[in-house]
Amino acid sequence: MELNFNESRWLQVRKDWSAWWEGDTGRPMVILPTIDTMIYTDPGEFTTEFLLRRKAVDVVRYYQERISGAQFHGNSYPNWVPNFGPGIASGFLGGPVKPSSEQRTVWFQVDAPISYDGLHFYYDPDNEWWKRVLELTGLAVDTWGGRIAVGHTDLGGVMDILASFRTTQQLLLDLYENPDQVKRCTREITVAWLEYYNKISATVAQSGQGTTCWAPMLSPGRTYMLQCDFSAMISPKMFERFALADLTAICDSLDHAFYHLDGPDAVRHLDMLISIKMLSGIQWIPGAGRPGPSKWLPLLKRIRDGGKLCQVYVNAKSALTIAKELGGRGFAFYIVPEEPYTDEELIDYGGLLADPAPFLREMMQ
């Protein structure tokens, strides 16, 4: 396998990321991989045939061709994560898995709520989706060795997983009508979640390059991007009652826990999240159709003033704006062609790819 990345680059990247986690760097981390197939997904990846039945060696070879064609600028690094959709732990626990090549994702949602009498969550070593993810993760590590950081699949959030079995609407009612059952299930899911995480962690650790996940960050220890998208529909009181304990338990089991804060409706929980001692940082996602991260400077400042690191997806111009206004310390900028928001601060991405050096010098000095 030809790879545009050598061991000296790995040494520097690991050193830089380790310093960032410890707060020992005054500049931001800048992640800029340059290849279209690192950004845009082939819809053929999201079919049951590809995800579950195609020979594992063919799947690894498919991604190897894409990784080998990439350039890794700044603090980027070659990595691969088995992409089974946002929350495949639901499938591990016996829930429905519905790949959609048209929408380029995987859905996890029952057609009607499953009775609590039939809901008991536990680690199942024989689940076909779990065995497939573990097979692909292990084969990737065996094939690529330490040349690529193989990461954790997207397990999903505890409350979001439960919603996939009860439906979102019913789970909202359950918070009032069946609170004890909700707490029982979230505890069971958390225990199973950690079991899945630990087993994947033991596999990916063999690559020797650290830990990564679907988010663009590299840790010398155990890291993950936690989430609770369900939180956008509940009050801080409900969040504290039903979500905080499980999030804290998972954070306590990691070295570098991060949280996926998705949209303005989730911001009401920010102070509570900042209070979690073992939560290292917060990823801010404004949401489709909303202004990009550079238009949320007070929010980004709250995150940093709260002692947390912050990761955002931005175009080059917006990254420069944030660094100028707030300073770059503690930020991780993943540079995208255009922000997936209504942000007018665009930059010539083609020119950036042709010569990223001036931009990187300005950001990483």
CB distance 310 to 330 below 8 Å = yes
User: Both 134 and 259 in a single domain?
Assistant: no
Q: Collect the ranges in the chain with pLDDT lower than 50.
A: 37, 39
pLDDT per residue as tens digits for the range 147-173: 999 999 999 999 999 999 999 999 999
Rg (CA), the chain: 20
User: Both 65 and 179 in a single domain?
Assistant: yes
User: Both 220 and 328 in a single domain?
Assistant: yes
Per-residue pLDDT, 248: 98
Per-residue pLDDT, 341: 56
Say if 107 falls within a structural domain: yes
- Which residue reads 């997806």 in tokens? 313
User: Both 9 and 59 in a single domain?
Assistant: no
Say if 61 falls within a structural domain: yes
Q: Which residues, in sequence order, are bridge partners of residue 106? A: 99
Dist CA 298 CA 286 (whole Å): 13
Dist CA 336 CA 333 (whole Å): 9
Q: Say which amino acid occupies 241.
A: R
User: Both 12 and 116 in a single domain?
Assistant: no
Per-residue pLDDT, 348: 63
User: Both 61 and 204 in a single domain?
Assistant: yes
Region of residue 151 (phi > 0: left; psi between -120 and 50: alpha; otherwise: beta): beta
- Which residue reads 């704006």 in tokens? 321
Considering its fold, how many domains does the chain have in total? Answer: 2
Dist CA 229 CA 18 (whole Å): 29
Dist CA 127 CA 136 (whole Å): 14
User: Both 262 and 197 in a single domain?
Assistant: no
Task: Give me the CATH number covering residue 90.
Answer: 3.20.20.210
Per-residue pLDDT, 37: 47
Say if 244 falls within a structural domain: no
Say if 160 falls within a structural domain: yes
pLDDT per residue as tens digits for the range 94-122: 999 999 999 889 999 999 999 999 999 99
User: Both 230 and 341 in a single domain?
Assistant: yes
Residues 301-328: b if buried by 16+ CB within 10 A, e if exposed? ebbbebebbbbbbbbbbbbbbbbeebeb
Say if 306 falls within a structural domain: yes
Per-residue pLDDT, 208: 86
User: Both 12 and 96 in a single domain?
Assistant: no
Per-residue pLDDT, 360: 86
Q: Which domain holds residue 300?
A: 1-23+30-35+215-236+254-365
Say if 291 falls within a structural domain: yes
User: Both 196 and 222 in a single domain?
Assistant: no
User: Both 56 and 169 in a single domain?
Assistant: yes
Say if 243 falls within a structural domain: no
Say if 111 falls within a structural domain: yes
Model pTM score: 0.94
Neighbours of 358 (CB within 10 A): 10
Per-residue pLDDT, 31: 95
Spatial CA neighbour of 264 closest among 239, 238, 231: 231
CB distance 294 to 313 below 8 Å = no
User: Both 224 and 341 in a single domain?
Assistant: yes
What is the pairing mode between strands 279-285 and 256-262? parallel
Per-residue pLDDT, 34: 75
CB distance 308 to 281 below 8 Å = yes
